[in-house]
Amino acid sequence: AYFVLQVIYARRKHKISPPETRGHPEFERIFRAQVNCSEYFPIFISLLWVAGIFFHQGVAAVCGLLYLYTRLKYFQGYAVDAQGRLRPLHVSAWLLWLLLGLAVAGLLAHFLLP
């Protein structure tokens, strides 16, 4: 919701009416950051859910909080400069891979071990 509100604020600030997605470079970066975060959210929430159920709720919760923090830093960095998104992007991708590993380990343990 925070990211969506930032897009609305940027639209008003730079006088860019929906459905337009082009305009001031600051608006384009904020809009792109919000879209990128939205695109990854279903993957994140699915992996978080499976890892929490089949691996460990606490570990999954910590990974989830770290992921959300890195996505916030990604958004903030991208809003200022496109290069500012890179480090948080890499960390958030690493956390998604970690959640995938936890989910797979939990599923394997649940279905293959007696």
What residues make up the domain containing 8?
A: 1-112
27 Cβ partners below 8 Å, 6+ apart?
Answer: 10, 11, 13, 14, 16
| Number of domains, the chain | 1
Instruction: Give the span between the Cα atoms of 28 and 110, in whole angstroms.
Output: 45
Residue 87 falls in the annotated catalytic set: no
* pLDDT (average), residues 8-35: 96
The single residue of 22, 29, 85, 87 carrying the catalytic annotation is 85
HSE (CB half, 13 Å, CA atoms) of 53? 10
Average pLDDT over the chain, rounded to whole? 96
Q: What is the pLDDT of residue 114?
A: 78
Residue 85 falls in the annotated catalytic set: yes
The single residue of 11, 12, 32, 71 carrying the catalytic annotation is 12
* pLDDT (average), residues 18-39: 95
Output the domain CATH number for residue 84: 1.20.120.550
pLDDT tens-digit profile of 37-92? 999 999 999 999 999 999 999 999 999 999 999 999 999 999 999 999 999 999 99
